[in-house]
Structure 1
Amino acid sequence: MQPDRHAAGGASDPMTGRLLDGRYRVGSRIARGGMASVYEATDLRLDRTVAVKIMHPGMGDDAEFAARFVREARAAARLSHPNVVAVYDQGDDDGTVFLAMELIDGHTLRDVIRKESPIPPGRALALLEPILSALASAHRAGLIHRDVKPENVLIADDGRIKVADFGLARAVSADTQHTATGGVLIGTVSYLAPELVVDGRADARADVYAAGVLLFEMLTGTKPHEGESPIQVAYKHVHEDVPAPSSVVPGIPAYVDALVARATARDKELRPSDAGVLLHQVHRVSHALAEGVVDDADLTADLTPLRMRFEAAEAPGPDDTAPEPFGSDVVPAYVPPPPGEVTTPLRTLPRPAAAPPATRPPRRSRKGLVLLLVLLLLVVGGGVGAWWFLDGRYTNTPGVLGLTKAAATEKLDDAGLDAAFGEEAYSETVPAGRVVATDPEPGAKVVDGGTVTVTISLGKERYDVPKLAGKTVDQAQDALTATHLAYGESVERWSDDVAEGVVIRTDPKAGTTLRPDTPVDLVVSKGPRPVNVRDWTGKDADAAMAWADKHGLNGRIASQEYSDDVAEGDVISQDPTGGSTLHHGDDISFVVSQGPPLVEVPNVRAQGVDAATKTLEALGFHVTTEKAAGYLGLGFVFSQDPGSGQSVPRGSTITLSII
C-alpha cells in the first residue's frame, strides 16, 4: 500500500467527510493499495484519531474477497504485540466494508531502503529484529502474514517499528493446509517463498523466507531476483538461490551471508521453523557484529544450509590455479569417501609413461616412490579434512521432545551441546513444562559444542471468558480481544435493571475455559421493555397509581375535580391516554374525581310544599316528602333534612316534613 498523503483525499474523494457506522468521521486519504485505501479518521465515540482501511467500491461484492478482508480484522485483533499495528474494529456500512486501526505517523521501511541502502549489517539487523518479533508473535498464535514486504513495515516518528496489514494472514492448523483463496497466489512476487509459487501452500517458513529477502534488500539496496514480468521473478524464486549479499556489496561478513542463505533456502526444510527461531539466529549474528568479528567459521558453518555446505566443499576454489604436481597426463584415482558422502575424484595419479629401450634392466626411481607416497598422504589427508569439514565436526541433535527442561538440558550436555531456551509455546499435545520443539530439529546436524534452542510447552492454550456484565459493548469487545477470545455477536434483550447498551451476560458464561479465538456472544440490554398504557378513565385512581409504579412509570395525581358523572376517587382523565407507549421512568398523570360539586341547602321551612320542592329541584336536589308528627293537612313545610345552611353534593336527596 503506497503512501498517498497528498493524493486526492480532499473534496474530490467521495469518502472524505463520510460518517461510517455512525462512529468514524473519514478525513483525508493517506495511502492506497490494490484492494483498499487508508484514510485518517476520527473515532467520535472514543474521541481519538485512527486509520480506517476501506475496501475499494465493488470489491465487497465478491463474497470470498470480502470474507478475507473481514478475516484481517479478526486475525490481527488476536495479536497484542508492541510491533503489530493494532486493529480496533471492523464494520460494513451500507456495503462499505472497513477496518479501524491504529494510526502510525511516520514512514515505511521502503522509504528507509530507498534513502539509506546499502544499509550496514548491524543497522539492517536492528531494523529486522522488531519485524521478526512481531512475526514470531503471530506464528505462536498460529497465524502467518503472507505479505511481508517493506511497504507493510511502518516506522513511527519516534522510532517504533510496526508490522501492518495482516489482511492475508490465515490461521494455521493441521487440517487446513490448503491453497489460499482457492489456489490464487496472494502476496508480493518479490518476496514469495518458492512453495507458495509452486502449490500455494505456506506455513510460518514462508514469512521467514520473505524476511530473508527483506534483509538482502536492506543490505544491498536491490532485490535478489529481477525479471521483466512477475512470472519470471516467481520462476527465479523456485529455481535460483538468493545470491550472497557480499556478491553485491563486498565486505559483508560470511556469517551474514550464511544467515541470509539460511532464511531464504529454497527447500523450506532447511529454513528456520518460524520467525522466533530466525530471531534467535539474528541475535547470534548481531552479537558477532557488535563484537567486531570479521570472520567466524563455526558460526558461518552452523548457519549455512547443509546442502550449500556440501556444494561449497565439492566445487573447485576460484583461486586454485596451482598446476598439478605431475603435469597434465594424469588419470583419476578413486578414494572412498566417508560414509554418507558423495563420491568425488579428489586427486589424480600419473599416467604410466612409455619405457625407453633398455640396454640393461631398468633401475627403480626413488624419486617416483617418494612422490607416490606424498600423493597418497595428500589424498588421505584431503579425505580426512573433507570428512572433518563436512561431517566429522558435526553431531546429530539428540531427540529431547517430550522431556522436562532439566532432562533435556542433561541429554544435550551429554551430547556435548549447549541448551538455549527460546520463548515458550502452547501445544495441544505436549504437556506444560516439557519440550515441544528444538532448533535444529532432532537428528539434524549441529557443530560439536554448538547450541540447540529448546522450546518448552506451555500446555494447551486456553482462556477463561472474562466477566463482562456491566461493560459497554466496546469495552467487552476490547476485553475479549485482550483475552485472545473472539467476539461473536450481540443479542439484545429487554431489561428493567440494566441500562441500554450495557452487557447483561455472556454466552458461554463468564469463567468458562475456551480455546483461543472461540466466539463469545454478548447479551446486551435494550433497556426496559416499553409499556402499553391502559385506559384508567372511570376506574379507581389508587389502582391506576399502583399499576404505574409496578411498570416503572412516574405516576402522579395532576388534580382533583368535581364531577357529576365520575364517582369520587375514580379517574376522570389521564395523560398520556390509553393505548400510548411509554418507557421506564416516563411520567403519567391522572385527574381524579371528587364526586359532584357541593351545594348549600336553602331554608324552605314554612313554605308551601310545591314552592319548596321547586326551589330545591332548581338547585339539583331530589325532593321527598313525609307527614310530620301531628299532621294537620295544611301543606306547609314543618322541617327539612339536611337542614338549611349545610353543603351537600348536587343530586343529594332533601326530605321535607309536611304539617
Structure 2
Amino acid sequence: MTTRDDDLVGRVLDGRYYLRKILARGGMGTVFLATDTRLDRTVAVKVMQGGDADIDFNERLSAEARAAARLSHPNVVAVFDQGDDAGVLYLVMEYVPGHTLRDVISREAPLPPRRVLSLIDPLLVALSAAHDARIIHRDVKPENVLITPSGQLKVADFGLARAITSTSQATTGVLIGSVSYLAPELVLNEGADARCDVYAVGAVMFELLTGQKPHTGETPIQVAYQHVHADVPAPSTLVAGIPPYVDALVARATARDRDQRSADARVLLHQLRRVRSALEAELVDDVELTQDLQLHRVAAAMAGSDGWPGPDTAPGADDWSTGVGEWSGGDGGPAAATAVAAASASSVYGDTATPEDSTALYRPGPPEAYDSGYEATRAVTRDAAGIPAPPLAHTRAATRYDDKHRRGRRMLVTVLVLALLAAGLGWWFGVARYDSAPDLLGMPVAQARAEGQRAGYTVDDGDEAFSETVPRGSVVSTDPGPGDRILPEGTMTLTVSKGRERYAAPDVEGMSEEEAEAALAEVKAVVGEVERKYSDTVDSGDVISTSLPVGRMIRPDTEVDLVVSKGRKPVTVKDYTGKPVDGAQAKLEKAGFEVDVERVYDDKVPRDQIMAQDPASGTAYKGDTVTLTVSDGREPIEVPGVIGKNVDDARAILEAAGFKVEVEKERIHFGSNLVSRQSPGGGDEAPPGSTILLRIV
C-alpha cells in the first residue's frame, strides 16, 4: 500500500521529523519542509517512492545514504539521517533555500562564458571531493544544483540514481539517470566511472552557454541514441563570440570516447580554470590552450555494420564495493542495463509537479511523452542487447529490401570488404603502428622529461616561449602534441614556458612624442590616449607625464597614456599707460611677468605716472619682461646758497631761481633776520618749484 503524499503532511516520522508542507514532487520521491524536533532545526525530508515492498531498494538506499553522509563538503547538500517509518522510506537532508541552476538557465541563458565558468567551478569542486572519495554522482543536471540566496552553490542527490537503478536489476534495460546529460557509455551499458559525471557537466556547460540542450528528440530513447552517435556541437555554432578554447573545453568534457574525456572532475576543474584565466585576460584565442584541450581522435574498428558494438560485446565492469555511485562497471552487471531518467524531487525545492503514482518510475513500462525542458524521472527500456534502437523508421526501411536487390547487395558487400581490407592496411601503416604521444603539457620540465622517458621516448629541450597560463619552467607545448602520432622510441621536443611576458615601463618624461612612442615599442607597449597641456617647464611637444609609474611591470600591447606639453601658456598683456606705477607693477607681476621700471624726467607728466609700456598690448608668456617708462617729474636744478644773507635778500634770490621759500625763526632769535640755515642746502639739487626752508636768527 502506498501512502499519498498529502496524507503525510503533519506526520512525525520516527517520533522526530515533523513534516510541515510539501516543497516539491519529483521522480524519485517527494520533498517535505520539516522540523527536526530533537535538534530544533529546519531540514528537508525526501520521502522515497517504492514503499515497504521494495526491500532491496530500501537496503540499497540505506547503504547509499550512509556513503553520502560521509561526503562532507560546503558545496554538497549534507545528508543527516535515513530511516523507514512503517513503510515510509525517507532521507533527511540539509534544507537549502533559494533556487536551482535550472532557474538560472530559464531566466538568463544563454549566459556569457565567464558567468558560465563561475557557476561550473563550484560544481566541479564538489564533484572533485566526491571523486577523490571514489564516489560518483551519476545524475548531474541543473535541477540537482542548488544556489542559496547568498550565491553559494550546492550539489544534491548523491547516490540516489545508483540506488534506484539497483532496484531495477531484475528488469533488463533499465537505468535511472537524466537523458539529456547521460554519458554514451551508460547508454551502451559499458560501466560507470568519474567520466560519466564529467560528460554531464559538459552537457550542463553547453546548455548554460547556448540556452539549449546538447541533443533533442521526440522521445528519451532518441535523445540517448544521439548521445552515442552524434558529437555535442560547438557552442559557438549557436552563439556568436564564444572563444575557440571554450568550445574546446566543452568538446573535451563531452567526448563520446571517454578515454579522450577529462579523467575526473579535478582534471576538468584544472582545465576550466586555465580557460577562465584566458577569459579574464580577454584573449580572443589562446592557440596553445585550444590545442591542449582539443580532442585527438584515433581511428578504431567498429563492431557491427551500423557502428554499434555487436551483441557479443561484453561491458567491462570492475565493481569496487558499495558507496554513493562508486566507480563501477555497472550496478550489478548486464542485468542493470541502462535506461534514461531525470530530475529528482530534491532537484530543489521548486514547484514542478509529477504524477502522484511515481512508483512506475522504477519499473519498465510504456514510454512517456518526453519534455525537453524540466527533466522528470522516467524509465526507458532498450532491446535485449542493451543497445538503444535507431528510430523505428530506419528499422522498417531496412526490412523493405526485396529479392531483386540482394545480388546488388552481395556485390556491394564484396566491394566493401575489399575497401575495408585496403583501409585496414592503410590504417596499419598510417595509424596503428604509431603510439599516441603522452600529454606532458603544464608539467614542470623535469617531471615532463621523466614521464616521456618512462614512456620510452627520447625527450629533447626545444625553445622557450612566453605563456599567460603555464607557469615558468613548465611545458607549454610538445612536438608531437598530446595524442598525436609518434613512433615507439621516437623523440619528443619540449617547449618550456618563460612565464608571463612582462616588461618594465620605461621613463619617457621629457622625451619628444616620437621618442616616447619608440621607447614604449621596445617593451611592446603602445601609446594610448594623448592629452596636451601647457607647461612652463617642459618644451612644446615633449612628454610631461604618463599614466604608468616608471618600472611598473606591464604585459605586451599595454596602452600607456601620455600628457604632452603645448609649451608655455600665452597671457594677455593689459596696457597701464597713464596709471600709477605701483598698482600697475603689482598686477603685472601677479600675471607672471617680470617688470622693468625705467624713470625719466618730464615737465608735464606727474611723478610716478606711467608714460609708456612695452609691450603695451597683445599676448606674451609667463616669465616675459614688460618695460614701464615712468615719469620722475621735472629735472632738478642747483639750489643757491643764501646762508648769512638778510632774509628778504635770500627770499628774492631763491624765488628768482624758481623755488618757493618758507621762513622759520630759530629758537634763539636776536631779531637780526639773518639766515642761519637752509634746506636743501646751497649747491644741492631740487626740482624747480620745490620749497626751500630758511631759518633766521
Q: TM-score range by the shorter chain?
A: 0.3 to 0.5
State the TM-score, normalized to the length of structure 1: 0.47
State the TM-score, normalized to the length of structure 2: 0.44
Between 1 and 2, higher relative CO (CA 8 Å, sep ≥ 6) is seen in: 2
